[in-house]
């Protein structure tokens, strides 16, 4: 057992200890079929102010311990990242949002993700 497990004088990590890779805006735009303006948040992320990388909900779903095929509910679906992550892990998923534009964008993104996966199978 440590006498002093926390040392407030010890230098802290100034980097990102929990780095999660993200997909660049330009690639997200192309994945959903945008032909121009690839580097704009409005095109690639549905102009949503709080997007996050796919690996974040994937890790949360895996760490939760729920079994494959379970239902994942995202009450703030936004751009659909959690729904897509759940689907990729073999889960069923439902997402809701009060903003109809986010619902439209997440549907478009989900359909594009499914189409891209099917295209990559062949």
How is the chain split into domains, by residue range? 53-121
Q: Where are the alpha helices (DSSP H) in the chain?
A: 25-31, 41-44, 55-64, 81-88, 100-121
Cβ atoms of 51 and 81 closer than 8 Å:
yes
Cβ atoms of 93 and 106 closer than 8 Å:
no
Task: Kindly report the number of other CB atoms within 10 A of residue 83's CB atom.
Answer: 25
Say which CATH architecture domain 53-121 belongs to: 3-Layer(aba) Sandwich (3.40)
Q: Where are the alpha helices (DSSP H) in 12-99?
A: 25-31, 41-44, 55-64, 81-88
Q: Which residue numbers in the chain have pLDDT < 50? A: none
Structure tokens at 109: 């993104």
């Amino acid at each position: 057992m440590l006498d002093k497990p926390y040392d407030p004088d010890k230098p802290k990590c100034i980097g990102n200890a929990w780095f999660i890779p993200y997909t660049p805006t330009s690639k997200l735009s192309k994945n959903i079929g945008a032909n121009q303006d690839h580097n704009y948040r409005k095109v690639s992320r549905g102009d949503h102010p709080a997007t996050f990388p796919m690996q974040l909900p994937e890790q949360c779903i895996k760490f939760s311990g729920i079994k494959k095929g379970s239902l994942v509910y995202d009450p703030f679906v936004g751009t659909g990242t959690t729904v897509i992550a759940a689907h990729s892990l073999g889960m069923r998923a439902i997402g809701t949002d009060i903003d109809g534009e986010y619902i439209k964008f997440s549907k478009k993104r989900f359909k594009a993700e499914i189409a891209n996966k099917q295209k990559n199978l062949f």
